[in-house]
Amino acid sequence: MKESAHVPSSRSGTVRQMPSPLVEARGLTKKFGDFVAVDAIDFEIRPGEAFGFLGPNGAGKTSTMKMITTVSPITDGKLTVFGLDPRDDGAEIRSRLGVVPQENNLDEELTVEENLYIYGRFHDIPKPVIRRRIEELLEFAQLVEKRKARVENLSGGMQRRLVIARALINEPDLVILDEPTTGLDPQARHVLWDRLYRLKQEGATLIITTHYMDEAEQLCDRLVVMDKGKIVAEGSPQELIQRYSTREVVELRFAPGAVETNLDRLDGLGNRMEALADRVLIYTDDAEALIDEIHRRGVEFEQRLTRRSTLEDVFLHLTGRRLID
Amino acid sequence: MATLTNALRVVEADYINYRRTWRGRIISTFLNPILFLAGMGLILGQLVDRGQGEAQLPVPFLTFVATGLIAATAMQTGFGEGAWPILAGIKWRKTFHAIVVTPLSVADLVNGILIWGAIHLAFASGVFAVLAAVFGALEPGPALLSIVPAALGGLAFQAAATAYSARLEDDMNLTNAFRFVIMPLYLFSGTFFPISQLPDWLEPVAFATPLFHAVELTRKVALPGVGAPVVTTVPTWVNVAYLVAMITVAWVLAIRSMRERLQK
């Protein structure tokens, strides 16, 4: 992995001369019977960027990933991957992809090494090359000591790292990660983020789907927010926070039922307000002035928290909850 | 584009998997033939050969049963390989989903599974053939020859089971298929008694079943020149054509149902 193993130098050279998108979708649509999973979306993924698809479960993220990996035929619209059509050039596209699916699909009866080996063979890589890459990838995934261990005996975090290592065996030009850290404990998530960040530093192009906002903020250069099959926003994490949220958020926690009785007193505070069950989020560019005003009006809250606005606020704003503004 | 090289990659992966898991399977590969040959062939055979059975067999009962059992065992093995491992690949372990995002196609995957299936069936039938020779049921030559028709029949069942399993949501139906299809075939397709012993109205049903043709073909290959009631008057080419047609149709259907399942 030392010499940027994921993007072969000859290819990244070509890519620099032609900055055409690696993936391009126009009016991309996927239907299952009457159900529209992906509803005429447009996006472009450029070489070298980490591109995120955010959205709640069922937003259409995985369906989009499956169309890019050529395993799901598109219903309508246009999709090119590496400038190729998934319908005609599926095998060629897949030979340049690394795919990390939502659910691990390793051969649990085989060892760590054997899983990497057979995947290399599926990619028609010569055996000596596979052996060399296995060494690099074991190092990368911090699984050197586990090389002879059967996959069923690995922890969730280790299995996940192995799935990612396996996806890199063909030195892909594009790595697709569908919810890479869902279901992992915080330690395992941070180890994974380190690995993914390193991949990014080495120039790999990444597509990441997630519903963790911190993950998107950590890893994505650019992202789209999907909801009900549509793209509802697009930009860098910072741009989206600026556009759809405010600099700061003041969270007030109330005693059960006390939100209703305090609504009058809260009226008109901040730039925007969101009332949840026993909490009210007030979006503002000046938290200090807002807090003074809250005290002046005698709002009866139990706890107060002031924090920086995050992508999560953007997400909740765009994909909806009970809103008052 | 499906190619043989691609299919052989899947065969290699299946072989590596087999190397890791054969210890668990070898018991049934060896033990079942021994139990059946001993129980059915030797012990029951003593009674039958004393002439207490109605059919007068021109060969010892042990020989008759061994040639039926090698085909029936291959059927069971083929069905088993085409059943639970297919659902595991699709639903439980999802390993098939990992394969179809590599350059391999769904057709490559199915071809590889069934080519490996044929190799595995030949090996399992070979174990049976060796044991049949050890038991004195067959001469070594005919025993080895019977591997081919037995494996052919087994492959027909594996391909059919693959096509069926790829459409299932859970293994309830597989358990039922085993109970209500495989077991009756095992018992009534001429494995343990000539189908001329069946009631007249059941005989045509037996003719229609794939296991009958596999058993019959095995006997014709292993016991050349032996006539009724060990074998029927059905021409050999019909037995071969039946099995080849079943493999071909089931193979095509297996690719189709797997495509529908893995490329939604």
Range with the poorest average pLDDT among A102-116, B51-65, B79-93, B159-173: B51-65
| Helices B4-36, B61-87: inter-axial angle, 10-degree rounding | 130
Nearest Cα residue to A199 out of A183, A218, A223: A218
Paired strand residues for A207: A51, A176
Spell out where A124-278 has E strands: 174-178, 205-210, 222-227, 230-235, 248-253, 272-275
At A321 the pLDDT is 58
pTM of the model as a whole = 0.88
Whether residue A99 lies within 8 A of chain B, CB to CB, comes out as yes
At A14 the pLDDT is 46
What are the tens digits of pLDDT across the range A33-90? Answer: 999 999 999 999 999 999 999 988 889 999 999 999 999 999 999 999 999 999 999 9
Residues of chain A with pLDDT under 70: 1-19, 321-325
Q: How many residues does chain A have?
A: 325
At B46 the pLDDT is 81
Nearest Cα residue to A123 out of A147, A93, A146, A143: A93
At A313 the pLDDT is 83
Contacts of B44 (CB under 8 A, 6+ apart): B61, B65
Nearest Cα residue to A91 out of B66, B82, B126, B109: B109
pLDDT at B119 over 50: yes
The whole-angstrom separation of Cα A276 and Cα A259 is: 9
B9/A124 CB distance under 8 A: yes
At B53 the pLDDT is 56
Nearest Cα residue to A222 out of A38, A99, A54: A54
At B54 the pLDDT is 53
Across the interface, which of A103, A105, A118 has its CB nearest the CB of B16? Answer: A118
At A203 the pLDDT is 84
At B35 the pLDDT is 87
Q: Which of B97, B101, B108 to mutate to test the interface with A (most CBs of A within 10 A)?
A: B101
At A11 the pLDDT is 45
Distance (Å) of CA A103 to CA A56, A213, A219, B100, B258:
17, 20, 20, 15, 19
pLDDT at B233 over 50: yes
- Structural domains of chain A, ranges and CATH numbers in brackets: 9-236 (3.40.50.300), 246-309 (3.30.70.100)
At B52 the pLDDT is 56
pLDDT at B48 over 70: yes
Which chain B residue is nearest to residue A74, measuring alpha carbons? Answer: B264
At A266 the pLDDT is 86
Other beta carbons less than 10 A from residue B256's beta carbon: 16
Whether residue A73 lies within 8 A of chain B, CB to CB, comes out as yes
What are the tens digits of pLDDT across the range B151-207? Answer: 999 999 999 999 999 999 999 999 999 999 999 999 889 999 998 888 889 888 889
The whole-angstrom separation of Cα A36 and Cα A179 is: 21
At A6 the pLDDT is 46
pLDDT at B141 over 70: yes
Q: Which of A81, A122, A151 to mutate to test the interface with B (most CBs of B within 10 A)?
A: A122
A109/B94 CB distance under 8 A: no
At B31 the pLDDT is 83
At A16 the pLDDT is 47
A90/B99 CB distance under 8 A: no
